[in-house]
Structure 1
Amino acid sequence: MSNRLLAHLGKAYLGLILFFLYAPILVMAAMSFNASEFYQLPFSFSTEWYERLWKNDEILEAAWRSVWIAVVVTVIATSLGTAASIALFRYEFPGKTVLQLLLFPPIAIPWLITGTAMLIFFFGIGLDRGTPAVIIGHAALALPYVIVVVTARLATFDRTLEEAARSLGASAWKVTMAVTVPWILPGIIAGGLFAFAVSFDQFVVSYFLSEPGDSTLPVLIYTSIRKGFTPEINAVSTIIIAVSMGIMLLAARYSNFGGEQ
Protein backbone atom coordinates (compact mmCIF):
# COMPACT_ATOMS: atom_id res chain seq x y z
CA MET A 1 0.00 0.00 0.00
CA SER A 2 1.52 3.29 -1.09
CA ASN A 3 2.21 6.17 1.25
CA ARG A 4 -0.16 8.36 -0.76
CA LEU A 5 -3.05 5.93 -0.24
CA LEU A 6 -2.29 5.72 3.47
CA ALA A 7 -2.30 9.51 3.65
CA HIS A 8 -5.70 9.66 1.93
CA LEU A 9 -7.11 6.99 4.25
CA GLY A 10 -5.80 8.88 7.26
CA LYS A 11 -7.42 12.11 6.07
CA ALA A 12 -10.71 10.32 5.42
CA TYR A 13 -10.63 8.74 8.88
CA LEU A 14 -9.91 12.11 10.49
CA GLY A 15 -12.72 13.67 8.47
CA LEU A 16 -15.19 11.04 9.70
CA ILE A 17 -14.17 11.65 13.31
CA LEU A 18 -14.59 15.41 12.94
CA PHE A 19 -17.95 14.89 11.23
CA PHE A 20 -19.11 12.61 14.04
CA LEU A 21 -18.07 15.20 16.65
CA TYR A 22 -19.33 18.38 15.01
CA ALA A 23 -22.35 17.36 12.93
CA PRO A 24 -24.75 17.29 15.93
CA ILE A 25 -23.45 20.67 17.07
CA LEU A 26 -23.92 22.20 13.63
CA VAL A 27 -27.46 20.79 13.38
CA MET A 28 -28.32 22.19 16.80
CA ALA A 29 -26.91 25.60 15.87
CA ALA A 30 -28.86 25.59 12.61
CA MET A 31 -32.10 24.66 14.38
CA SER A 32 -31.65 27.60 16.74
CA PHE A 33 -32.26 29.79 13.68
CA ASN A 34 -35.23 27.77 12.39
CA ALA A 35 -38.59 29.50 12.76
CA SER A 36 -40.41 26.23 13.42
CA GLU A 37 -40.74 25.27 17.07
CA PHE A 38 -40.97 21.61 16.05
CA TYR A 39 -38.01 21.64 13.64
CA GLN A 40 -40.18 21.36 10.57
CA LEU A 41 -38.56 21.58 7.15
CA PRO A 42 -37.95 23.35 4.86
CA PHE A 43 -35.70 25.54 6.96
CA SER A 44 -36.99 29.06 7.57
CA PHE A 45 -34.42 31.48 8.99
CA SER A 46 -35.48 33.38 12.10
CA THR A 47 -33.86 34.93 15.18
CA GLU A 48 -37.05 34.51 17.24
CA TRP A 49 -35.52 32.06 19.71
CA TYR A 50 -32.59 34.37 20.43
CA GLU A 51 -35.02 37.26 20.96
CA ARG A 52 -37.01 35.14 23.40
CA LEU A 53 -33.81 34.09 25.10
CA TRP A 54 -32.84 37.68 25.92
CA LYS A 55 -36.27 38.15 27.53
CA ASN A 56 -36.02 35.00 29.65
CA ASP A 57 -34.99 36.29 33.09
CA GLU A 58 -34.44 32.81 34.51
CA ILE A 59 -31.88 31.89 31.86
CA LEU A 60 -30.18 35.29 32.03
CA GLU A 61 -29.83 35.07 35.83
CA ALA A 62 -28.36 31.56 35.57
CA ALA A 63 -25.97 32.72 32.85
CA TRP A 64 -24.80 35.67 34.94
CA ARG A 65 -24.31 33.38 37.93
CA SER A 66 -22.23 30.98 35.83
CA VAL A 67 -20.09 33.85 34.52
CA TRP A 68 -19.25 35.44 37.86
CA ILE A 69 -18.61 32.07 39.50
CA ALA A 70 -16.28 31.20 36.62
CA VAL A 71 -14.46 34.52 37.05
CA VAL A 72 -13.97 33.92 40.79
CA VAL A 73 -12.81 30.35 40.15
CA THR A 74 -10.40 31.60 37.48
CA VAL A 75 -8.80 34.07 39.89
CA ILE A 76 -8.49 31.48 42.67
CA ALA A 77 -7.28 28.58 40.51
CA THR A 78 -4.87 30.70 38.48
CA SER A 79 -3.31 32.30 41.55
CA LEU A 80 -2.92 29.06 43.48
CA GLY A 81 -1.92 27.05 40.41
CA THR A 82 0.76 29.54 39.33
CA ALA A 83 2.21 29.67 42.84
CA ALA A 84 2.24 25.87 43.05
CA SER A 85 3.88 25.56 39.63
CA ILE A 86 6.67 27.97 40.56
CA ALA A 87 7.24 26.14 43.85
CA LEU A 88 7.42 22.77 42.07
CA PHE A 89 9.82 24.27 39.55
CA ARG A 90 12.19 25.90 42.04
CA TYR A 91 12.36 23.55 44.99
CA GLU A 92 13.18 19.92 45.63
CA PHE A 93 11.47 18.19 48.54
CA PRO A 94 10.46 14.65 49.57
CA GLY A 95 7.40 13.40 47.72
CA LYS A 96 7.61 15.98 44.93
CA THR A 97 7.29 13.37 42.16
CA VAL A 98 4.30 11.75 43.85
CA LEU A 99 2.66 15.14 44.28
CA GLN A 100 3.12 15.91 40.59
CA LEU A 101 1.65 12.54 39.61
CA LEU A 102 -1.38 13.17 41.84
CA LEU A 103 -2.30 16.16 39.66
CA PHE A 104 -3.48 13.90 36.84
CA PRO A 105 -6.10 11.61 38.49
CA PRO A 106 -8.54 14.51 39.15
CA ILE A 107 -8.46 15.24 35.42
CA ALA A 108 -9.05 11.60 34.46
CA ILE A 109 -11.60 10.61 37.13
CA PRO A 110 -15.22 10.91 35.88
CA TRP A 111 -16.84 14.05 37.22
CA LEU A 112 -19.83 12.04 38.43
CA ILE A 113 -17.57 10.30 40.95
CA THR A 114 -15.84 13.57 41.82
CA GLY A 115 -19.15 15.35 42.36
CA THR A 116 -20.45 12.59 44.62
CA ALA A 117 -17.21 12.59 46.63
CA MET A 118 -17.34 16.38 47.03
CA LEU A 119 -20.95 16.29 48.17
CA ILE A 120 -20.16 13.66 50.81
CA PHE A 121 -17.01 15.50 51.92
CA PHE A 122 -18.71 18.88 52.23
CA PHE A 123 -21.59 17.30 54.12
CA GLY A 124 -19.08 15.69 56.48
CA ILE A 125 -17.35 19.00 57.30
CA GLY A 126 -20.63 20.86 57.69
CA LEU A 127 -20.53 22.92 54.46
CA ASP A 128 -24.02 23.10 53.00
CA ARG A 129 -24.85 23.11 49.31
CA GLY A 130 -24.66 26.57 47.79
CA THR A 131 -22.42 29.04 46.03
CA PRO A 132 -19.37 28.65 48.34
CA ALA A 133 -19.41 24.88 47.82
CA VAL A 134 -19.78 25.32 44.04
CA ILE A 135 -16.83 27.74 43.90
CA ILE A 136 -14.60 25.43 45.97
CA GLY A 137 -15.60 22.43 43.86
CA HIS A 138 -14.96 24.22 40.57
CA ALA A 139 -11.62 25.58 41.80
CA ALA A 140 -10.52 22.09 42.83
CA LEU A 141 -11.33 20.79 39.35
CA ALA A 142 -9.65 23.70 37.55
CA LEU A 143 -6.47 23.77 39.64
CA PRO A 144 -4.75 20.74 38.01
CA TYR A 145 -5.30 22.22 34.54
CA VAL A 146 -3.62 25.48 35.56
CA ILE A 147 -0.67 23.71 37.16
CA VAL A 148 -0.11 21.45 34.13
CA VAL A 149 -0.23 24.34 31.64
CA VAL A 150 1.95 26.72 33.69
CA THR A 151 4.44 23.95 34.45
CA ALA A 152 4.72 23.23 30.73
CA ARG A 153 5.58 26.87 30.14
CA LEU A 154 8.14 26.81 32.96
CA ALA A 155 9.89 23.92 31.22
CA THR A 156 11.25 26.48 28.72
CA PHE A 157 12.44 28.91 31.41
CA ASP A 158 16.17 29.53 31.80
CA ARG A 159 17.04 29.30 35.51
CA THR A 160 20.14 31.46 34.99
CA LEU A 161 17.86 34.48 34.53
CA GLU A 162 16.70 34.16 38.14
CA GLU A 163 20.26 33.59 39.32
CA ALA A 164 21.42 36.72 37.50
CA ALA A 165 18.64 38.78 39.09
CA ARG A 166 19.53 37.49 42.57
CA SER A 167 23.21 38.28 42.00
CA LEU A 168 22.18 41.88 41.36
CA GLY A 169 20.46 42.05 44.74
CA ALA A 170 16.85 41.40 43.78
CA SER A 171 14.67 39.82 46.46
CA ALA A 172 12.83 36.54 45.86
CA TRP A 173 9.54 38.43 45.36
CA LYS A 174 11.16 40.86 42.92
CA VAL A 175 12.71 38.01 40.96
CA THR A 176 9.35 36.27 40.72
CA MET A 177 7.39 39.34 39.61
CA ALA A 178 10.01 40.93 37.33
CA VAL A 179 11.66 37.87 35.79
CA THR A 180 9.66 34.65 36.20
CA VAL A 181 6.07 35.84 35.82
CA PRO A 182 6.63 37.84 32.58
CA TRP A 183 8.21 34.76 30.99
CA ILE A 184 5.40 32.38 31.99
CA LEU A 185 2.60 34.91 31.38
CA PRO A 186 1.33 33.10 28.24
CA GLY A 187 1.02 29.93 30.31
CA ILE A 188 -0.78 31.81 33.09
CA ILE A 189 -3.24 33.27 30.58
CA ALA A 190 -3.83 29.85 29.03
CA GLY A 191 -4.29 28.26 32.47
CA GLY A 192 -6.78 30.96 33.41
CA LEU A 193 -8.74 30.37 30.20
CA PHE A 194 -8.82 26.64 30.92
CA ALA A 195 -10.03 27.36 34.46
CA PHE A 196 -12.81 29.63 33.18
CA ALA A 197 -13.94 27.06 30.63
CA VAL A 198 -13.90 24.21 33.16
CA SER A 199 -16.00 26.23 35.61
CA PHE A 200 -18.43 27.73 33.10
CA ASP A 201 -19.15 24.38 31.40
CA GLN A 202 -19.25 22.33 34.59
CA PHE A 203 -22.54 20.48 35.05
CA VAL A 204 -22.04 17.47 37.32
CA VAL A 205 -20.37 19.19 40.28
CA SER A 206 -22.72 22.18 39.94
CA TYR A 207 -25.72 19.83 39.92
CA PHE A 208 -24.58 18.11 43.12
CA LEU A 209 -23.54 21.26 45.00
CA SER A 210 -26.01 23.94 43.87
CA GLU A 211 -29.02 24.89 45.96
CA PRO A 212 -32.45 24.21 44.42
CA GLY A 213 -33.65 27.25 42.51
CA ASP A 214 -30.18 28.81 42.38
CA SER A 215 -28.59 26.88 39.54
CA THR A 216 -25.83 27.58 37.08
CA LEU A 217 -26.62 27.72 33.36
CA PRO A 218 -25.68 24.09 32.51
CA VAL A 219 -27.87 22.82 35.36
CA LEU A 220 -30.75 25.05 34.26
CA ILE A 221 -30.47 23.74 30.70
CA TYR A 222 -30.64 20.17 31.99
CA THR A 223 -33.69 20.82 34.16
CA SER A 224 -35.38 22.75 31.35
CA ILE A 225 -34.94 19.82 28.96
CA ARG A 226 -36.54 17.49 31.51
CA LYS A 227 -39.55 19.82 31.82
CA GLY A 228 -40.00 20.27 28.09
CA PHE A 229 -37.58 21.11 25.30
CA THR A 230 -37.86 24.48 23.56
CA PRO A 231 -35.69 25.98 20.78
CA GLU A 232 -34.47 28.56 23.31
CA ILE A 233 -32.27 25.77 24.67
CA ASN A 234 -30.75 25.42 21.20
CA ALA A 235 -30.01 29.15 21.19
CA VAL A 236 -28.35 29.29 24.60
CA SER A 237 -26.45 26.04 23.92
CA THR A 238 -25.13 27.49 20.67
CA ILE A 239 -23.90 30.58 22.51
CA ILE A 240 -22.23 28.46 25.22
CA ILE A 241 -20.48 26.27 22.64
CA ALA A 242 -19.26 29.32 20.70
CA VAL A 243 -17.90 30.96 23.86
CA SER A 244 -16.31 27.73 25.13
CA MET A 245 -14.64 26.96 21.82
CA GLY A 246 -13.34 30.51 21.62
CA ILE A 247 -11.86 30.24 25.11
CA MET A 248 -10.24 26.89 24.39
CA LEU A 249 -8.78 28.15 21.10
CA LEU A 250 -7.29 31.11 22.96
CA ALA A 251 -5.90 28.76 25.59
CA ALA A 252 -4.32 26.56 22.90
CA ARG A 253 -2.88 29.65 21.21
CA TYR A 254 -1.25 31.02 24.35
CA SER A 255 -0.17 27.79 26.03
CA ASN A 256 1.59 25.96 23.21
CA PHE A 257 2.43 23.48 26.01
CA GLY A 258 6.01 24.61 26.41
CA GLY A 259 6.80 25.24 22.78
CA GLU A 260 8.03 28.44 21.25
CA GLN A 261 5.52 31.23 20.80
Structure 2
Amino acid sequence: MTTTSPQGRTELLRSDRTPVRVLVVDDEAPLAELLSMALRYEGWEVRSAGDGAGAVRTARDFRPDAVILDVMLPDMDGLAVLGRLRRELSDVPVLFLTARDSVEDRIAGLTAGGDDYVTKPFSLEEVVARLRGLIRRSGTASVRSESTLVVGDLILDEDSHEVSRGDDSIHLTATEFELLRFLMRNPRRVLSKAQILDRVWNYDFGGQANVVELYISYLRKKIDAGRTPMIHTRRGAGYLIKPGD
Protein backbone atom coordinates (compact mmCIF):
# COMPACT_ATOMS: atom_id res chain seq x y z
CA MET A 1 0.00 0.00 0.00
CA THR A 2 1.29 3.43 -0.84
CA THR A 3 0.38 6.91 0.23
CA THR A 4 -0.37 9.86 -1.96
CA SER A 5 1.41 13.17 -1.67
CA PRO A 6 -0.64 16.19 -0.60
CA GLN A 7 1.48 18.47 -2.78
CA GLY A 8 -0.46 20.40 -5.39
CA ARG A 9 -3.82 19.62 -3.80
CA THR A 10 -6.25 21.57 -1.69
CA GLU A 11 -6.44 20.74 1.99
CA LEU A 12 -9.36 20.33 4.35
CA LEU A 13 -9.69 22.22 7.61
CA ARG A 14 -12.38 22.35 10.26
CA SER A 15 -14.46 25.52 10.57
CA ASP A 16 -12.15 26.73 13.35
CA ARG A 17 -9.17 26.27 10.98
CA THR A 18 -7.76 23.33 12.95
CA PRO A 19 -6.91 19.98 11.31
CA VAL A 20 -9.63 17.50 10.44
CA ARG A 21 -10.01 14.77 13.07
CA VAL A 22 -10.32 11.10 12.08
CA LEU A 23 -10.87 8.06 14.28
CA VAL A 24 -9.47 4.76 12.96
CA VAL A 25 -11.06 1.62 14.46
CA ASP A 26 -9.39 -1.70 13.57
CA ASP A 27 -8.09 -4.56 15.70
CA GLU A 28 -5.20 -5.20 13.29
CA ALA A 29 -2.61 -2.89 14.83
CA PRO A 30 -0.26 -2.76 11.79
CA LEU A 31 -3.14 -1.84 9.48
CA ALA A 32 -4.47 0.78 11.90
CA GLU A 33 -1.01 2.32 12.15
CA LEU A 34 -0.60 2.33 8.37
CA LEU A 35 -3.95 4.08 7.93
CA SER A 36 -3.09 6.55 10.67
CA MET A 37 0.22 7.42 9.01
CA ALA A 38 -1.49 8.02 5.66
CA LEU A 39 -4.08 10.29 7.25
CA ARG A 40 -1.48 12.24 9.24
CA TYR A 41 0.37 12.73 5.96
CA GLU A 42 -2.76 14.57 4.81
CA GLY A 43 -2.26 16.91 7.76
CA TRP A 44 -5.14 15.44 9.76
CA GLU A 45 -5.27 14.64 13.47
CA VAL A 46 -5.76 10.92 14.04
CA ARG A 47 -6.60 8.63 16.94
CA SER A 48 -7.15 4.89 16.85
CA ALA A 49 -8.96 2.18 18.78
CA GLY A 50 -8.65 -1.60 18.61
CA ASP A 51 -12.16 -2.58 19.71
CA GLY A 52 -15.70 -1.30 19.81
CA ALA A 53 -15.74 -0.16 23.42
CA GLY A 54 -12.50 1.76 22.91
CA ALA A 55 -13.93 3.35 19.76
CA VAL A 56 -16.97 4.68 21.61
CA ARG A 57 -14.85 6.05 24.47
CA THR A 58 -12.38 7.68 22.09
CA ALA A 59 -15.13 9.18 19.95
CA ARG A 60 -16.77 10.70 23.02
CA ASP A 61 -13.51 12.44 23.97
CA PHE A 62 -12.02 13.13 20.53
CA ARG A 63 -15.19 14.24 18.68
CA PRO A 64 -13.94 13.09 15.25
CA ASP A 65 -15.05 14.58 11.94
CA ALA A 66 -15.00 11.11 10.33
CA VAL A 67 -14.56 7.47 11.38
CA ILE A 68 -12.91 4.54 9.60
CA LEU A 69 -14.58 1.48 11.11
CA ASP A 70 -13.69 -2.19 10.66
CA VAL A 71 -16.77 -4.43 10.50
CA MET A 72 -15.14 -7.29 12.42
CA LEU A 73 -13.97 -6.32 15.91
CA PRO A 74 -13.14 -8.57 18.89
CA ASP A 75 -15.86 -7.38 21.26
CA MET A 76 -18.72 -6.36 18.95
CA ASP A 77 -19.30 -6.00 15.25
CA GLY A 78 -18.95 -2.70 13.44
CA LEU A 79 -22.71 -2.31 12.98
CA ALA A 80 -23.22 -2.33 16.75
CA VAL A 81 -20.36 0.17 17.16
CA LEU A 82 -21.95 2.38 14.53
CA GLY A 83 -25.21 2.43 16.46
CA ARG A 84 -23.44 3.60 19.61
CA LEU A 85 -21.42 6.20 17.68
CA ARG A 86 -24.58 7.60 16.14
CA ARG A 87 -26.00 8.19 19.61
CA GLU A 88 -22.91 10.24 20.46
CA LEU A 89 -22.26 11.87 17.07
CA SER A 90 -25.36 11.69 14.93
CA ASP A 91 -23.87 13.16 11.75
CA VAL A 92 -20.28 11.89 11.73
CA PRO A 93 -19.41 10.21 8.39
CA VAL A 94 -18.40 6.54 8.73
CA LEU A 95 -16.34 4.57 6.22
CA PHE A 96 -16.61 0.79 6.76
CA LEU A 97 -13.68 -1.58 6.21
CA THR A 98 -14.37 -5.27 5.69
CA ALA A 99 -12.70 -8.41 4.45
CA ARG A 100 -16.07 -9.60 3.13
CA ASP A 101 -17.20 -8.51 -0.31
CA SER A 102 -20.75 -9.81 -0.49
CA VAL A 103 -23.59 -7.57 -1.61
CA GLU A 104 -25.47 -8.46 1.58
CA ASP A 105 -22.62 -7.15 3.76
CA ARG A 106 -22.45 -3.91 1.81
CA ILE A 107 -26.20 -3.40 2.04
CA ALA A 108 -26.20 -4.18 5.77
CA GLY A 109 -23.47 -1.63 6.44
CA LEU A 110 -25.06 1.12 4.40
CA THR A 111 -28.54 0.39 5.72
CA ALA A 112 -27.24 0.62 9.29
CA GLY A 113 -26.10 4.16 8.57
CA GLY A 114 -22.61 3.75 7.16
CA ASP A 115 -21.69 6.31 4.52
CA ASP A 116 -19.27 4.27 2.39
CA TYR A 117 -17.68 0.85 2.20
CA VAL A 118 -14.15 -0.34 1.27
CA THR A 119 -13.20 -4.00 0.94
CA LYS A 120 -9.86 -5.38 2.10
CA PRO A 121 -7.31 -5.43 0.60
CA PHE A 122 -7.51 -1.80 -0.45
CA SER A 123 -5.17 1.00 -1.47
CA LEU A 124 -4.48 3.81 0.97
CA GLU A 125 -5.11 6.27 -1.86
CA GLU A 126 -8.65 4.96 -2.23
CA VAL A 127 -9.38 5.20 1.48
CA VAL A 128 -8.03 8.76 1.70
CA ALA A 129 -9.93 9.86 -1.42
CA ARG A 130 -13.20 8.41 -0.20
CA LEU A 131 -12.72 9.91 3.24
CA ARG A 132 -12.02 13.34 1.77
CA GLY A 133 -15.23 13.08 -0.22
CA LEU A 134 -17.27 12.09 2.83
CA ILE A 135 -15.85 14.92 4.94
CA ARG A 136 -16.46 17.52 2.25
CA ARG A 137 -20.03 16.36 1.65
CA SER A 138 -20.77 16.35 5.37
CA GLY A 139 -19.96 20.07 5.58
CA THR A 140 -17.83 19.59 8.70
CA ALA A 141 -14.70 20.91 6.99
CA SER A 142 -13.89 23.55 4.42
CA VAL A 143 -11.38 23.57 1.60
CA ARG A 144 -8.20 25.48 2.20
CA SER A 145 -6.76 26.87 -1.00
CA GLU A 146 -3.21 26.04 -2.04
CA SER A 147 -2.29 29.70 -1.50
CA THR A 148 -3.00 29.49 2.22
CA LEU A 149 -0.35 28.55 4.79
CA VAL A 150 -1.47 27.51 8.26
CA VAL A 151 0.67 26.87 11.33
CA GLY A 152 -1.40 26.45 14.48
CA ASP A 153 -3.79 29.42 14.63
CA LEU A 154 -1.57 31.51 12.34
CA ILE A 155 -2.88 31.86 8.76
CA LEU A 156 -1.11 33.47 5.81
CA ASP A 157 -2.79 33.93 2.41
CA GLU A 158 -0.12 34.14 -0.28
CA ASP A 159 -2.54 35.63 -2.83
CA SER A 160 -4.18 38.39 -0.78
CA HIS A 161 -1.15 38.90 1.54
CA GLU A 162 -3.52 38.76 4.51
CA VAL A 163 -2.21 37.40 7.80
CA SER A 164 -4.16 36.56 10.94
CA ARG A 165 -3.63 34.79 14.21
CA GLY A 166 -6.78 33.56 15.86
CA ASP A 167 -9.37 36.29 15.38
CA ASP A 168 -6.78 39.08 15.00
CA SER A 169 -5.62 40.48 11.66
CA ILE A 170 -1.91 41.26 11.49
CA HIS A 171 -0.41 43.95 9.26
CA LEU A 172 3.06 43.18 7.92
CA THR A 173 5.47 45.04 5.71
CA ALA A 174 6.52 43.39 2.44
CA THR A 175 9.78 42.13 3.94
CA GLU A 176 8.12 40.89 7.13
CA PHE A 177 5.58 39.04 4.98
CA GLU A 178 8.32 37.32 2.94
CA LEU A 179 10.17 36.30 6.09
CA LEU A 180 7.03 34.90 7.69
CA ARG A 181 6.10 33.08 4.47
CA PHE A 182 9.52 31.41 4.35
CA LEU A 183 9.20 30.30 7.97
CA MET A 184 5.64 29.01 7.48
CA ARG A 185 6.58 27.07 4.36
CA ASN A 186 9.05 25.20 6.56
CA PRO A 187 7.23 24.62 9.86
CA ARG A 188 9.28 23.02 12.66
CA ARG A 189 12.41 23.25 10.51
CA VAL A 190 15.37 25.28 11.75
CA LEU A 191 16.39 27.82 9.07
CA SER A 192 19.85 29.35 9.27
CA LYS A 193 20.51 33.07 8.90
CA ALA A 194 22.30 32.33 5.65
CA GLN A 195 19.25 30.51 4.26
CA ILE A 196 16.95 33.32 5.33
CA LEU A 197 19.18 36.00 3.80
CA ASP A 198 19.36 34.10 0.54
CA ARG A 199 15.60 33.49 0.34
CA VAL A 200 14.21 36.77 1.70
CA TRP A 201 16.88 39.31 0.81
CA ASN A 202 18.46 37.47 -2.14
CA TYR A 203 22.07 37.93 -1.15
CA ASP A 204 24.75 35.82 0.46
CA PHE A 205 25.63 35.79 4.11
CA GLY A 206 28.32 38.38 4.71
CA GLY A 207 28.14 39.99 8.09
CA GLN A 208 24.46 40.84 7.61
CA ALA A 209 23.09 38.56 10.29
CA ASN A 210 21.86 41.58 12.20
CA VAL A 211 19.17 42.28 9.60
CA VAL A 212 17.73 38.81 10.12
CA GLU A 213 17.72 39.26 13.89
CA LEU A 214 16.09 42.66 13.48
CA TYR A 215 13.24 41.39 11.33
CA ILE A 216 12.72 38.33 13.50
CA SER A 217 12.22 40.74 16.40
CA TYR A 218 9.70 42.72 14.32
CA LEU A 219 7.75 39.56 13.57
CA ARG A 220 7.76 38.45 17.18
CA LYS A 221 6.23 41.76 18.26
CA LYS A 222 3.40 41.30 15.76
CA ILE A 223 2.89 37.52 15.82
CA ASP A 224 3.78 36.50 19.37
CA ALA A 225 3.09 39.57 21.53
CA GLY A 226 0.67 38.58 24.30
CA ARG A 227 0.33 35.05 22.89
CA THR A 228 2.06 31.69 23.17
CA PRO A 229 5.31 32.15 21.19
CA MET A 230 5.50 30.50 17.78
CA ILE A 231 8.82 31.89 16.52
CA HIS A 232 11.79 30.27 18.25
CA THR A 233 15.57 30.73 18.23
CA ARG A 234 17.99 27.83 18.16
CA ARG A 235 21.30 29.22 19.35
CA GLY A 236 24.00 28.81 16.76
CA ALA A 237 21.58 27.23 14.27
CA GLY A 238 18.83 29.66 13.29
CA TYR A 239 15.08 30.14 13.66
CA LEU A 240 11.93 28.09 13.31
CA ILE A 241 8.19 28.46 13.58
CA LYS A 242 5.87 25.91 15.14
CA PRO A 243 2.38 25.90 16.70
CA GLY A 244 2.18 27.34 20.18
CA ASP A 245 2.03 24.71 22.91
Normalised by the length of structure 1, the TM-score is 0.22
Normalised by the length of structure 2, the TM-score is 0.23
More strand by share: 2
More helix by share: 1
Question: Which one has more relative contact order, counting CA pairs under 8 Å at least 6 apart?
Answer: 1
